[in-house]
Structure 1
Amino acid sequence: MLATIKILWNSLKMALQELKVNKLRTFLSLLGITIGIFCIIAVFTVTDSMESNIRSDVQELGSDVIYVQKWPWGGGGEYPWWKYMNRPQPEFKDLRVVQDKVKSASASAFAFSAYSKRVEYRDDYMEGVEMIAVTQEFERIQQPQIIAGRYFTGNEGSSNVVILGANIWEGLFTSAETADGKVVQVAGRPCKIIGLLKKKGESLLGGINYDNAVIVPYGFGRTIVDERRFGDPYIMVKAASGVDLRQLKDELKGVLRAAHRLRPTEEDDFSLNEITTLSSNLAGLFAALNIGGGIIAIFALIVGGFGIANIMFVTVKERTNIIGLKKAIGARRSVIMMEFLLEAILLCLIGGGLGLLFVYTGTLLAGGSQSFAISLSAKNVILGLSISGIVGILAGFIPAFTASKLDPVVAIRSN
């Protein structure tokens, strides 16, 4: 056993020496493996990061929340916009009906957004700001992350108070401490700052871009914008604990149809949307990206595998007399075979390691410019090294088997 370990150790040292001596040959042989591992792990890393970001967004936006709106989300195929155009917008009175009659809901809120507003403080201003007007229970559903100040109280439904998004208060003030309590102009109306939001970044699922938005009470917001014409209003309904989303949806549908006095034969004049619909569509996209990246990687790995097999055949040819000497002094066929298999695996692991290094470097470079974190997970590192090892075994098996079958006398006499 000890003699076998020594032979294998010496073989590994010899393999490393060969890599140093034949740098160009080694580089060309490793290129395919490096590109293949880079392609497949880069795709997996990006899609895993996106999926992680989506799960986080679904959690924040509410996987147990139904959005009552005029327009449905997605749907696939042909989108019959002409059918939805004549639907009425959700109204504030619909919120009262939901709060009174939907027993499977724990919270509900009415909200609308108005875009391209101007927020001013003294001589400074921010253009293109989204103003979000919400009712009191919005906080229980969306849970905006306030780092300074507070949310609206129950008595501030029509007060001139505002919560600023991160990009707004950072642009108008030097710090959160400076901004809290100041008075700014929102669309020309004076508002006292009572809260500041934490920086969040953009969401892959869309929705509210809190960083470039201000939140005001609904009663105040409607004095600035007529939500029925310009606000695109919607109602958010959060399911009670232990209530299935389908149950909430069915109850909402019945209550709203009765409130809108729709006959049994008439279609709904509203849409009940949920975040899981968007996340499911994106999950299908990520699966397609994984398949596409996998196909590219397979071709690169096949080319890399042939390159490794080629260099191993050349190595066997160069060491034929050494193989003969080892077999003459008692080295078994399994030891000779293992020697060349280990060398092939080592080559592939080096190539795979370089591919992983390039992916990791890419995550560091992209980290500062993306709205979501991209990181190389331990799972993908193990996957990359495992694939490299498997390619090494497949590429090195035939050359190793050929070396193990050499006749020692013929091998010693070879030049």
Structure 2
Amino acid sequence: MLFFRLTWESFRFAINALKTNLTRTVLSLLGVTVGIFAIITVFTLVDSLENKIKSSFAFLGTNVMRVDRFPFEGGGPDYPWWKYFRRPAATFSEYKFLEERIKNAEGVTISASSTTTAQAGSNAFEGMALTGVAYTYQDVYEVALEEGRYFSESEINASRNLAVIGKKIATTLFPNQPALGKEVKIKGMKFIVIGIFEEEGEGFLELPSKDEACLIPYGAFTKMYYTGRNGLEPTIALKGKDEDVGLVALENELTGLLRAKRGLKPTQENNFALNKTEFIQNTIGSIFDVISVAGWVIGGFSILVGGFGIANIMFVSVRERTNIIGIQKSLGAKNYFILFQFLFEAIFLSLIGGGTGILLVFLLSFVPIGSLDLILSFGNIILGIGVSSIIGVVAGIVPATLAARLDPVEAIRTA
């Protein structure tokens, strides 16, 4: 109990010292405020931007593997693009072949896309992302509908002229009226709207958004567009199982099945690329890791200056209160009592500065920055408080230790 009482007294001494020298207190914490503000602002921007970009790539799906001609990781001066260019495109027969035989996948689908214009009466929507899909599209990709329904298997097999459209398309073509059951004209063909996607909001960096997307049966799509090697190339995609970490089992099985379907000899290399959608997200993450390091460097210098400022003020404070320290020790004050006074003072200075920096970042999050929403995460708040506390301990431990070790007789003699 005595320990806690003395600790509380040290706490009070530190608070009173900060109140007594208010101007010095404010000037001391400015460095920490700027440093924490810089670091947490950078981290908040990085996290918000990374989450926004990753969510914008949600149309690629999660835990999904695609069959393409070109690998995602290609590029560079030695990139053999001519070799990949000569590869055959995926076909509908390959999709059916995989659908019947694949075992390490939750689902397999095929789709083909193009950009076109949709019309309804005198209204038109340009730049619509039109995609022809198989019934199994919903097994691989998320199809969140606000109204209506998805295609039935019989409707897909019969290539019915039905469509699921985005919210933006619906409000543009049918302002102030329901779009379900209405006709839209796409490349001269009439389609009945049976579903409307949930609203996603504006896409980031002009990436596709379901608000501007339209799904139709794959057979109906092939009536309007030629698909294949010299036309619009379809994409086969497979949804991996959760227990298949890294989709290793799926990749091995898929490689064997595709090689068998395409009649490749053991000595021939694969004429297809298996791309994991996580590659893009991992690439994005690695880029932002570098930016985060830059944020530490930028804010680190400010915090370093702030730490030196606090340490300097603490040395001055010890010098000013040497006589008081001597009196306290002569009356029986323990070394840790004196130590805690100055250490708490340094920590409070740093925490107040860090808290002010975090508050400024929080206020900054209300400033609109286009389609980017700044979100100050709980993790970044804890990071800011943690860094502030560490700076306070580091900046205050030396002057606090010197104060605790003062000889009471010598300290009382000090003018």
Superposition map of 1:127-276 within 5 A: 127-157=126-156, 158-174=159-175, 178-201=178-201, 209-228=209-228, 229-239=230-240, 245-276=247-278
Task: Assess if the C-alpha contact under 8 Å between 2:14 and 2:342 holds in 1.
Answer: no
- The verdict on how the C-alpha distance between 1:27 and 1:124 changes in structure 2, with shifts beyond 3 A counting, is farther
The residue aligned with 1:107 is 107
The residue aligned with 2:320 is 318
Select between 8-17 and 162-171 the one with higher mean Cα deviation: 8-17
- The verdict on how the C-alpha distance between 1:390 and 1:242 changes in structure 2, with shifts beyond 3 A counting, is closer
The residue aligned with 2:37 is 38
Task: Assess if the C-alpha contact under 8 Å between 1:309 and 1:396 holds in 2.
Answer: yes
- The verdict on how the C-alpha distance between 1:60 and 1:91 changes in structure 2, with shifts beyond 3 A counting, is closer
The residue aligned with 2:346 is 344
Task: Assess if the C-alpha contact under 8 Å between 2:119 and 2:185 holds in 1.
Answer: yes
How far 1:197 sits from its partner (Å)? 0.3
Give the whole-Å Cα distance in 2 for the aligned partners of 1:81 and 1:165. Answer: 35
State percent identity of aligned pairs: 38
List per-residue Cα deviations over 1:261-306 (Å, max 9, x = no partner). 2233322222111122223323322332333322333322221110
List per-residue Cα deviations over 1:143-175 (Å, max 9, x = no partner). 210110011112323222111112222333346
Give the whole-Å Cα distance in 1 for the aligned partners of 2:312 and 2:47. Answer: 35
List per-residue Cα deviations over 1:83-107 (Å, max 9, x = no partner). 2112222122221222233344443
SS at match of 2:71: coil
How far 1:109 sits from its partner (Å)? 1.5
Give the whole-Å Cα distance in 2 for the aligned partners of 1:49 and 1:19. Answer: 39
The residue aligned with 1:122 is 121
The residue aligned with 2:283 is 281
Select between 387-396 and 199-208 the one with higher mean Cα deviation: 199-208
How far 1:34 sits from its partner (Å)? 1.7
- The verdict on how the C-alpha distance between 1:234 and 1:210 changes in structure 2, with shifts beyond 3 A counting, is same
- The verdict on how the C-alpha distance between 1:232 and 1:314 changes in structure 2, with shifts beyond 3 A counting, is farther
Task: Assess if the C-alpha contact under 8 Å between 1:205 and 1:279 holds in 2.
Answer: no
- The verdict on how the C-alpha distance between 1:333 and 1:221 changes in structure 2, with shifts beyond 3 A counting, is same
The residue type equivalent to 2:163 in the other structure is: V
- The verdict on how the C-alpha distance between 1:32 and 1:79 changes in structure 2, with shifts beyond 3 A counting, is farther
Give the whole-Å Cα distance in 2 for the aligned partners of 1:112 and 1:226. Answer: 10
- The verdict on how the C-alpha distance between 1:405 and 1:237 changes in structure 2, with shifts beyond 3 A counting, is closer
Give ranges in structure 2 of 5+ residues lacking alignment.
none
How far 1:206 sits from its partner (Å)? 9.9
Give the whole-Å Cα distance in 2 for the aligned partners of 1:378 and 1:256. Answer: 46
How far 1:307 sits from its partner (Å)? 0.8
The residue type equivalent to 1:97 in the other structure is: F
Task: Assess if the C-alpha contact under 8 Å between 1:205 and 1:278 holds in 2.
Answer: no
How many residues end up aligned between the 2 structures? 408
How far 1:193 sits from its partner (Å)? 0.8
List per-residue Cα deviations over 1:115-134 (Å, max 9, x = no partner). 2x112222222211111111
TM-score, normalised relative to structure 2:
0.87
- The verdict on how the C-alpha distance between 1:18 and 1:125 changes in structure 2, with shifts beyond 3 A counting, is farther
Give the whole-Å Cα distance in 1 for the aligned partners of 2:207 and 2:234. Answer: 13
Task: Assess if the C-alpha contact under 8 Å between 1:114 and 1:230 holds in 2.
Answer: no
How far 1:111 sits from its partner (Å)? 0.5
How far 1:216 sits from its partner (Å)? 1.1
SS at match of 1:136: coil
Give ranges in structure 1 of 5+ residues lacking alignment.
none
The residue type equivalent to 2:289 in the other structure is: A
Give the whole-Å Cα distance in 2 for the aligned partners of 1:185 and 1:144. Answer: 22
The residue type equivalent to 1:406 in the other structure is: L
The question of 1:327 aligning with 2:329 is answered yes
The residue type equivalent to 1:147 in the other structure is: E
Select between 400-409 and 247-256 the one with higher mean Cα deviation: 400-409
The residue aligned with 1:12 is 14
The residue type equivalent to 1:111 in the other structure is: S
Give the whole-Å Cα distance in 2 for the aligned partners of 1:3 and 1:243. Answer: 57
Task: Assess if the C-alpha contact under 8 Å between 2:326 and 2:410 holds in 1.
Answer: yes
Give the whole-Å Cα distance in 2 for the aligned partners of 1:271 and 1:205. Answer: 26
- The verdict on how the C-alpha distance between 1:114 and 1:149 changes in structure 2, with shifts beyond 3 A counting, is same
Give the whole-Å Cα distance in 2 for the aligned partners of 1:383 and 1:239. Answer: 35
The residue type equivalent to 2:126 in the other structure is: E
Task: Assess if the C-alpha contact under 8 Å between 1:145 and 1:198 holds in 2.
Answer: yes
Task: Assess if the C-alpha contact under 8 Å between 2:32 and 2:303 holds in 1.
Answer: yes
How far 1:198 sits from its partner (Å)? 0.7
TM-score, normalised relative to structure 1:
0.87
Give the whole-Å Cα distance in 2 for the aligned partners of 1:76 and 1:168. Answer: 36
- The verdict on how the C-alpha distance between 1:396 and 1:9 changes in structure 2, with shifts beyond 3 A counting, is closer
The residue aligned with 2:398 is 398
- The verdict on how the C-alpha distance between 1:363 and 1:230 changes in structure 2, with shifts beyond 3 A counting, is farther
- The verdict on how the C-alpha distance between 1:411 and 1:346 changes in structure 2, with shifts beyond 3 A counting, is same
